[in-house]
Amino acid sequence: MVPTSYYILLSALLFTFGVVGVLTRRNALVLFMSVELMLNSANLALVTFAMARQDVAGQIVVFFVIVVAAAEVAVGLALLVAIFRSKRTTDVDEINALRG
Amino acid sequence: MELIIFLITAAVAVAGAVAMLLSPNAIHSAIFLLINFVAISVLYVLLYAPFLFVIQLIVYAGAIMVLFLFVVMLLGAERAEDTRERFAWQRPLGLTLAAILLGLIGYIALRGPASDATVADQQFASPERIAEALFTTYLLPFEITAFLLLAAIVGVVVLHMSNHAGSRG
């Protein structure tokens, strides 16, 4: 039996790596991947607590998170493609105008 | 035995995440993130979540990562990003803030009650139980996700159409 706290520590570590990615990388696609990493670490924590409490509700929440993440990725990547068409870059430092 | 599998999988997940952060090439980042997703899906098996294991592989490792790789290749964004720093303080400050965050979460995680519950019922989250909960207690949110996905599809199509109108005019 693996202690619950090990899973939570792993989840915290992965979440922190996601935060580091968002704060230090500048390629918008890698930023997006870091956000996905954070979503996954939160999912891992939810599944861990679902097992610790023997409650299926935690896993249902993860199911909805995955659905929302899929929708978010589809819209976000479409936005990135639209930005790339007008700015010719995916560097977030170069994208500094609200006007297209 | 379970602990050994957990440690190996956790090491793979952490290595995948670190490699994703450090690799300058966006395609390599996507592949390392894929390794991380597969490792997390193995952890779902250890946590008695077979349904989420399959969903994680199909939706995350399958659909979402293919979409990512497709866009990376479409945009030609795989070239190394500019390493010149616009703000010298950005990287150290980001790392410091992340270290503080990790310390806080780790403190709270270790301070909480050690609830190492023995698993009484290994079938508590079998696909049948999940389907039962999804179509009774959580029926309304389940229906709302259908609208969410429809809105996402319409949004993507509208974005694409306005793009074309802009390039023509």
Model confidence band, residue B169 (pLDDT cutoffs 50, 70, 90)? very low
Most B CBs within 10 Å: which of A8, A9, A10, as the mutation test of the B interface? Answer: A10
Q: Give how far the C-alpha of residue B27 lies from the chain's centroid of Cα atoms, to the nearest Å.
A: 16
Model confidence band, residue B55 (pLDDT cutoffs 50, 70, 90)? very high
In chain B, positions 37-66, which contact chain A (CB-CB < 8 Å)?
A: 37, 40, 43-44, 46-49, 51-52, 55-56, 59-60, 63-64
Q: What is the pLDDT of residue B121?
A: 74
The verdict on a CB contact (< 8 Å) between A51 and B119 is: yes
Contacts of A68 (CB under 8 A, 6+ apart): B145, B148
For B1-79, which CATH class?
mainly alpha
- With CA atoms as reference, report the closest residue to A75 among B34, B101, B83, B158: B158
Interface confidence (ipTM) of the complex:
0.91
The verdict on a CB contact (< 8 Å) between B52 and A68 is: no
State the average pLDDT over residues B114-136: 79
Q: How many domains does chain A have?
A: 1
Asked whether A49 and B139 are in contact (CB, 8 A), the reply is no
Model confidence band, residue B52 (pLDDT cutoffs 50, 70, 90)? very high
CATH number, domain of A10, equals 1.10.287.3510
The verdict on a CB contact (< 8 Å) between A66 and B55 is: yes
Query: Does residue A58 surpass a pLDDT of 80?
Result: yes
The verdict on a CB contact (< 8 Å) between A18 and B17 is: yes
Q: Which residue has the higher pLDDT, B115 or B52?
A: B52
Comparing A74-83, B12-21, B22-31, B122-131, which segment has the lowest mean pLDDT? Answer: B122-131
**Alpha-carbon span B32 to B20, nearest angstrom:** 5
Structural domain that includes position A59: 4-87
**Residue A99: is it exposed, middle or buried by C-beta count within 10 angstroms (0-12/13-18/19+)?**
exposed
